[in-house]
Structure 1
Amino acid sequence: MERLSGLDASFLYLESPEQLMHVCAVLVLDTSTLSEGYDFVSLRDKIATRVAGLPMFNRKLRRVPLGLDHPVWVTDKHFDIERHVHRLAVPAPGGEKELTEVVGHLAGLPLDRSRPLWEMWVLEGLADGHIVMLLKAHHATVDGVSGANLIAHLCSLAPEAEPVEPVPAEEVPERTPSYRELAARGAAATAARPFSLVKMIAPTARIAAGAFARARRGEAMAAPLLAPRTSFNGNITGHRSIALAEFDLDDVRAVKNAVPGATVNDVVLTVTGGALRRYLNDRDELPEASLMAVVPVSVHGESRHERGTNKISTMFTRLGTDIEDPVDRLAQLSVTNSNAKEHHRAIPADTLQDWAKFAAPRTFALGVRMVSGMRLAEGGPVIHNLIVSNVPGPPVPLYFLGARIEGLYPLGPIFHGAGLNVTVMSLSGRMYVGIIGCRESVPRPGALAESFPKELEELKTAVLG
């Protein structure tokens, strides 16, 4: 038995039929590297062997009576691989349009909370002969780093090699806590909560004072609640639209190396800002002020907490959508991102995790229902416009159970008020962009995806000539 951390549990409490809190990865697989050829049943059996005994694949939720404390993970004694690995044929002619429509539909389906919170869909019938593996996992059980590790458990550096991260030999705990034990633990945690809250007040006050001082010096990260409104900043539905893009990592590095002080992330954010500028301009809704993004930041190497899967913090940054020239945009982002990073470093890594442990399921659920039912995201200040995440991956080719990965596109969650998520992941010299939005407010995400390579080429030409 393992109790969820407050941050992990928060993703459960935030979930609703419209606001789904799972993350996805679209893996394009070349099955020609499989020594025995592709067969769905064989692939499913291999997955079953790899995940056996691995807690993140075999644990499910158990609620604490009366919601006195966060839920706990317990072993699923009735685990059945056939309830987690499925197959589906992409409609003819099996192109990218048909693929993204199927992925969008599957991404809009909630995970079954009575089972371990993950599933895989093998998509067949693609025109190019590849298959696609769609991996879904709830954010309560993975973040960016642990999600990459989850994929690594199923991948290797050569078709017949062992996985990059070998499956540990540990046994999954079999004991399931009793109702009385969970209630007692929950009551004790509830009684201790006010004392923990008091301890948080002074450190938080110091953080706020430091942020105010930085803002007066013009060295703070962008402030929330000041983002301009766009068509994807309102209430969302449970429908999802998907688009995929890719570009060369060497081009990003060439631009970065030619601009003193710039980083790979600066270039990625500059290209993202330019792509969004094109997208909104074509729709005649480009705001005068720059869009603001939330950028998740991993604190796995800095956190003092051993328990919990999600070890992240967040950074607010402007994307320079108000700047037409890509070189000027990169220069501006280089400075503002540097300030934002310094500001972020001044905030203890565990601040978000420390406050999240006070998350109450009823309070969160009521808040989500109010935002949705009263359509609060449709008016008032916009906290931020979208989420942009950049996850570094391995610089070498990977093989998913023997099939070479030809593309790895991550897809994050979207929220009421911010119905667009852009996540970038690198793999073997390429950068793969996964775009997911609310279908009603982002009906044509392909137009945004097409702008990414165009923006990078324009920036590269402007910088390198």
Structure 2
Amino acid sequence: MTDAPVTKLTPTDHTYLHLDTDSSPMHWAMLLELSADGGHLDHGDVRERVRERSELFELFRLGIDRGRWRRPRETVAEKVDVNRHLAAAGYADATELNQQITVLLETPLPRPQPMWHLTLFTPAGAGSQYFLLRVHHAVSDGIAGAAFAALLADGSAAELAEFERFATSPRFRTPEIDPAVLKEAKAAFAEQHAAGKTGRAWPKLTTSGRREYALYSASTRDLRRAAKAHGASVHEFLLAAVGRAISLAPPGCVPAEIIRVTLPVTNDPEFRHTGNAVIVTPLNLAGNEPDLDRQIQRCKAELAVVERRRPELASAAPATEPALPWALRRIIGGAAMKHMSPDIHIGINPGFSRVRSVLGKPITELTALSPLAGYSFSVTSLILGKRTSFGIVIDPAALPSGYADTFIEHFDRVIGEA
């Protein structure tokens, strides 16, 4: 099997083209908040930094032509037109900032231009500047997306070298799976799917195209202490905390007995790839269990199944493209997501970058925001040094408007009480 070059998409990458629509664009986003101390960054200085860095890796010049109902064609620009990929916007207050970011989360990236975009938000008076980075998921998953930090981050050539493995390593292909392992994975997936049919009540993703988001962060040390106090790993604790918060504040009058979760896991244990190595495993979370310790015990059992039987492999994309017309593959991809029928997404991700400033301005918060790929509610956490951030995205046409903030209110309570 030949490794795919950086500019040639694989079947795993194609997954996000099959799911991509105008009302549900498949780009993830990263929101960087800069320190409010001192003066604001000059847009011209930022433009020069991005122009210079955009020449570092061929990945930054990769675009996608077509890719929905017609087979995609990868395009590689001779150079990045920075004026098209870096925008500047002002904001008067938090409400206006929220509105502008929401519009960008709802707006597809233009094709066939390179599939990333940066927006610098500057307050009218005192306050923090923000960067919103958007990257199409077909180009990179969240782990390999660390490469795009090189567009902005301070650092010497040696320090910036940490990004290279996410920009120049081979584009990921699914390794060969032992038939016995695959058989067990399919059986586990089927059992998880059947168990998740009980008490379904979570609102489905709509085609409205609307999005709302909210941000939260906590001390990583406090999360570890809370997890340890309950005899859990941080992973188990965070899953259970989400389950308890939802149980305390369900989006509907009747809480869902079971909530189907897509939980991302990487198929690349060395974290050395370009493109997409993340696949999702099904996990059934209790939607009506307000007791944290019982939530933890359930999550332990669910994660033990994932660890032992690897149900995620049942939905892994093949290493080579199937000999089917592109339109049919898109239909099959959509049908597979409909069959999986996830309710929510919970991502718990390690952070890799040790560089924490842009043009001398410290980054005070870094939050990931995921696309809604078949589900109406997403929580994406990023464990980065002393802080762990949480980006919540919802479909407000499916869930009550403002539910992202409601969830954070109860999530904060759960974390505090733990």
Question: Which TM-score band applies after superposition, normalised by the shorter structure?
Answer: 0.7 to 0.9
User: Would the aligned equivalents of 2:193 and 2:282 in 1 still touch at CA under 8 Å?
Assistant: yes
Counterpart of 2:317 (choices 340, 348, 353) is: 353
TM-score after normalising by structure 2: 0.83
Q: Structure 1, unaligned stretches of length 5 or more? A: 173-199, 461-465
User: Would the aligned equivalents of 1:10 and 1:356 in 2 still touch at CA under 8 Å?
Assistant: no
Counterpart of 1:268 (choices 228, 238, 252) is: 238
- 1:39 deviates by 0.5
- The aligned counterpart of 1:8 is 13
- 1:347 deviates by 6.8
Counterpart of 2:26 (choices 3, 21, 26) is: 21
For 1:161 and 1:130, locate their aligned partners in 2 and report how far apart those are by CA, in whole Å.
28
- 1:43 deviates by 0.9
Q: Structure 2, unaligned stretches of length 5 or more? A: 169-175
- The aligned counterpart of 2:78 is 77
User: Would the aligned equivalents of 2:227 and 2:237 in 1 still touch at CA under 8 Å?
Assistant: yes
1:172-321 to 2 correspondences below 5 Å = 207-209=182-184, 211-212=186-187, 223=194, 226=197, 228-230=199-201, 232-260=203-231, 262-280=232-250, 283-287=252-256, 289-301=257-269, 309-321=275-287
Q: Cα RMSD between the aligned structures?
A: 3.6
- The aligned counterpart of 1:391 is 349
* Amino acid aligned to 1:448: F
Distance 1:355 1:286, change over 3 A: farther
* Structure 1 range deviating more: 100-109 or 362-371: 362-371
Distance 1:114 1:385, change over 3 A: same
Counterpart of 2:129 (choices 125, 128, 131) is: 131
For 1:413 and 1:20, locate their aligned partners in 2 and report how far apart those are by CA, in whole Å.
7
User: Would the aligned equivalents of 1:9 and 1:140 in 2 still touch at CA under 8 Å?
Assistant: yes
For 1:129 and 1:414, locate their aligned partners in 2 and report how far apart those are by CA, in whole Å.
30
* Amino acid aligned to 1:454: R
- The aligned counterpart of 1:362 is 327
User: Would the aligned equivalents of 1:156 and 1:402 in 2 still touch at CA under 8 Å?
Assistant: yes
For 2:301 and 2:196, locate their aligned partners in 1 and report how far apart those are by CA, in whole Å.
21
For 2:240 and 2:373, locate their aligned partners in 1 and report how far apart those are by CA, in whole Å.
23
1:105-184 to 2 correspondences below 5 Å = 105-125=103-123, 129-152=127-150, 154-156=152-154, 163-165=159-161
SS of the residue aligned with 2:258?
coil
* Amino acid aligned to 2:239: L
Distance 1:163 1:88, change over 3 A: farther
How many residue pairs were aligned? 401
SS of the residue aligned with 1:409?
strand
Deviations 1:363-422 (CA, angstroms, capped at 9, x unpaired)? 244568999xxxx97xxx772211110111159671134321111111111134x12211
* Structure 1 range deviating more: 353-362 or 37-46: 353-362
User: Would the aligned equivalents of 1:230 and 1:385 in 2 still touch at CA under 8 Å?
Assistant: no
- The aligned counterpart of 2:173 is none
Counterpart of 2:367 (choices 373, 391, 409) is: 409
- 1:211 deviates by 4.9
For 2:409 and 2:37, locate their aligned partners in 1 and report how far apart those are by CA, in whole Å.
29
Counterpart of 1:425 (choices 382, 386, 402) is: 382
Counterpart of 1:451 (choices 386, 389, 410) is: 410
For 2:79 and 2:407, locate their aligned partners in 1 and report how far apart those are by CA, in whole Å.
43
- 1:301 deviates by 2.8
- The aligned counterpart of 2:90 is 89
Q: Is 2:300 the counterpart of 1:330?
A: no
User: Would the aligned equivalents of 2:12 and 2:317 in 1 still touch at CA under 8 Å?
Assistant: yes
Q: Is 2:40 the counterpart of 1:44?
A: no
* Structure 1 range deviating more: 133-142 or 11-20: 11-20
User: Would the aligned equivalents of 2:51 and 2:80 in 1 still touch at CA under 8 Å?
Assistant: no
The structure with the larger Rg is 1
For 1:343 and 1:224, locate their aligned partners in 2 and report how far apart those are by CA, in whole Å.
16
TM-score after normalising by structure 1: 0.75
Distance 1:6 1:78, change over 3 A: same
- The aligned counterpart of 1:184 is none
Counterpart of 1:59 (choices 57, 62, 84) is: 62
- 1:101 deviates by 2.1
Distance 1:294 1:356, change over 3 A: farther
SS of the residue aligned with 2:290?
coil
SS of the residue aligned with 2:17?
helix
SS of the residue aligned with 2:110?
coil
SS of the residue aligned with 1:79?
coil
SS of the residue aligned with 1:250?
helix
For 2:122 and 2:216, locate their aligned partners in 1 and report how far apart those are by CA, in whole Å.
20
